[in-house]
Chain A
Amino acid sequence: MSQLVFLESQEGKIKSTSLEAVAFAHAMGGQVTAIAMGSVSTTELEAVGKYGDIKILHANDSKFDKPTVAVCSNAIEQAMRAEKADVLILSNSSFVALLGASVAVKLKANIALNVVELPKTSPSFKVKQSVFSGKAYVWVEMKSEKKVISIKKNAVELKESGGKVTLVAFNPTLKEKDFNIKVISGTKATGEISLSDASIIVSGGRGMKGAENWGILEELAKSLNAATGCSKPVSDLGWRPHHEHVGQTGIKVAPQLYIAVGISGAIQHIAGVNASKCIVVINSDPEAPFFKVADFGVVGDAFDIVPKLTAAIKNMK
C-alpha cells in the first residue's frame, strides 16, 4: 500500500497536525509520499523525515501560500495519480476536510473523517471514526479502490525513527478558475498558540465571572505554554473571542492536558474535550458534572487555586 499525505502549512510552517498525519501514514506501512504547497523552507520540509523515509512533492510558489480548495484538491489529485497512491492521509482541520471531500469526488474514493486509530486492512479495509461529536465511534468498511482518511489528533503514537527526505519540485496543472476565492485580508492573533495545535489547553467558563478575570488563566496558560479556550456561554457573552469556544458546536480538541476552570461540564462541552488524554477540573461546585469525566479535580475557588497552580508550575521548572 502507498500513502500520500497533504502537509498543511501556515505562514511557511508545517502544522503539527500534518506531522501526525505523516506518522500515521508511516505506521500503516508501505511507501509514504507527501505534498506541500507554497513557500515552505527546506529546513521545515527536512524535519518531516523524522518519522521515516519520505518523498515530498513541493509546489514551491508563493501563489500557493493562501491556496483555494480547488487549487489544492487539483494538485492532490494529480499527485495521487502520479505517485499511484492508494490512500490520502489528511490531518484534521476544517480547510483540509474541504480538500479531502473534493479529492474524494474526483477520485471516486470513499472518505472517512475523524479516524481515531490505524485502519484494519485485512480481510477488508476498516476504519474507526469518531461520530456524534465525540460521543461515540463507528467502524466503517471502505470499499473503493482509492481512499481518503482524515485523522483526529492523537490517532497514532508519534515515533521518531529518523529517515531520509527526498525533495521533488512539483508543478500541478491548474486553471485560472481554480483561483476562485480572493483573500482580501487576514487577522491572526500573533504569538498565540492555536487550540487545534496545542498540547495543553486552559479553558474558562462562566465561573470566571467576567472577561476582566481572564488574566489569571492567561498567566497559567503562559506558564504551561498552553492555548486558552472557553465554554460556549463565555463566547456568547463576548467575554472571549469566538475562535476560543471549545465544545460540540465550537472547536473539538484533543490535547495531552485539558484544564477546565469554572466550567460546569454540559454534555456539549464534554463532547468537544473528551478525547483529551488528561482532564483537570477546577470548580467550586463539587456536584459539577465535569468531575465525572475528569482525571483530577480540585473543589474550590478558582481565584484562589489558579494562581497557586501557576506558582507551583513555575516552581517545578
Chain B
Amino acid sequence: MKILVCISHVPDTTSKIKFVDENTKFDTTGVQFIIGPYDDYALARAVELKESIGSTTITVINVGLKETEPVIRKALAIGADDAIRINSAPINSYFVASKIAEQAKDFDLIMMGRESIDYNGGVVHSMVAEILGFPIVSPVMKLDIEGSVVKMTREIDGGQEIVEAQLPLVVGCQEPIAEWKIPNMRGIMSARTKPLKVVEVNSDDDFMESLKYELPPTKGAVQLISPDNISELVSKLRNEAKVL
C-alpha cells in the first residue's frame, strides 16, 4: 500500500503571533516551526499502519520553501520513507491542494490533519479529494484497514460515527488516532539520507490575496468578585454583560 502524508509547516502552538511591514506579513522572528499537530497524528498512524500491514511505503509531502526542510526531515525521522517538497510558498488552500493532488494520483491512502493551525481552513483534504474524485472522511479519530475497506471512527457534533469507505481515500485526522511519535536516534540518522524530491511549480495562482492582519482587541482589566459575594457575579452577568 502507498500512503501519502501531507504535512503543514506551522508556528508552534505556544507562539505569540505578531506581524510586520504595517501588518501585512507574519513576523517569524523567534518563532519555532513544527509539523502541524494534526498532521503529526496522521503521520503517527501511518507509521503504525506500515508496521502492522507490511509492504507499505509512506511518502510525506509539503508545499513550502526551503525553510520547511527541517520539518520534512523530522517526518522522515519519525518513519516516512521519502519526501516531496513543492517549492513554493503555500499561497492559498486551493493552490496547496492542487499541487498535492498532482503528486497524489498513485497513492491508496492520503492522510493529513483535520486542519492546519495557522489558517485553520480544514479544507485542503476535501479539495484534494474533490480534484482526484476520491471519498473524504474527516475528522477521523480511529482508522483501521481490512483489505481495501477502511474502517473509521469520525467525530460528529457531540458524538461519534463508525463509517466505512473503500480505498483510495482521503482522510483528515485528529487525536486519538495515534500517539505522537518522537524520532529516535536511528530515525534521525537515517532521515538525513532518505530521498527528498523538490518539485518546481509555477506559483501564479494567487488570486486570493491577503491584505492586512489584525490582532484581537485587548480586553479591559478583569473585574474581580469576592467568593463571598457570588450573587454579585450573577447580577453583573445579567445586567452588565447581559449574557444571562
A interface, CB within 8 angstroms of B:
10, 15, 66, 68-70, 73, 93-95, 97-102, 104-106, 110-114, 126, 128-144, 180-189, 192-197, 200, 224, 242-243, 248-249, 252, 256-257, 266-268, 274, 277-278, 280-281, 291-301, 304-305, 308-309, 312-313, 315-316
Contact = CB atoms under 8 A, between A and B. Distances in A.
A256 to B, nearest CB: 4
A268 B13 contact: yes
A316 B232 CA distance: 11
Contacts of B151: 184
B238 A316 contact: yes
A130 to B, nearest CB: 7
Mostly, the B contact residues are: mixed
Given A100-B126, A185-B161, 20 more contacts: A66-B161, A69-B136, A73-B130, A98-B136, A101-B123, A102-B126, A126-B211, A132-B17, A132-B118, A137-B213, A137-B215, A139-B214, A180-B135, A183-B161, A242-B155, A291-B224, A295-B219, A296-B233, A305-B230, A312-B234
B52 interface: no
B5 to A, nearest CB: 18
B14 A69 contact: no
A256 B139 contact: no
B158 A113 contact: no
B157 interface: yes
A293 B219 contact: yes
A181 B17 contact: no
Contacts of B107: none
Contacts of A183: 161-163
Given A101-B123, A131-B119, A248-B13, A138 B207 contact: no
B116 to A, nearest CB: 9
A113 B120 contact: yes
B227 A141 contact: no
B123 A111 contact: yes
A95 B129 CA distance: 14
Best-surrounded residue of A98, A110, A182, A316 (most CB of chain B within 10 A): A98
A94 B122 contact: yes
Given A181-B164, A196-B157, A296 B223 contact: yes
Given A140-B208, A267-B14, A296-B237, A182 B139 contact: no
A120 to B, nearest CB: 11
A138 B161 contact: no
Contact of B241 (A15, A248, A257, A305): A257
B225 interface: yes
B159 A189 contact: yes
Given A102-B126, A133-B117, A180 B166 contact: yes
Interface string B136-162: 111101000000000100011111111
A181 B165 contact: yes
B175 interface: yes
A141 B209 contact: yes
Given A181-B163, A315-B231, A141 B224 contact: no
A102 B216 contact: no
Contact of B243 (A131, A257, A298): A257
Given A142-B208, A278-B243, A298 B230 contact: yes
Given A101-B123, A102-B129, A243 B233 contact: no
Task: Give me the 9 closest cross-chain CB pairs, A-B, nearest first.
Answer: A188-B159, A101-B123, A101-B126, A300-B227, A194-B158, A180-B135, A98-B126, A257-B243, A186-B161
B208 A143 contact: yes
Given A69-B129, A132-B17, A304 B227 contact: yes
A37 B10 CA distance: 36
A280 B212 contact: no
A128 B214 CA distance: 9
A94 B139 contact: yes
B126 A139 contact: no
A196 B159 CA distance: 12
Nearest to B176: A242
Contacts of B117: 132-133, 248-249
B222 A291 contact: yes
A298 B225 contact: yes
A114 B161 CA distance: 25
Nearest to A141: B209
Interface in B187-244: 207-216, 219-220, 222-227, 230-231, 233-234, 236-238, 241, 243-244
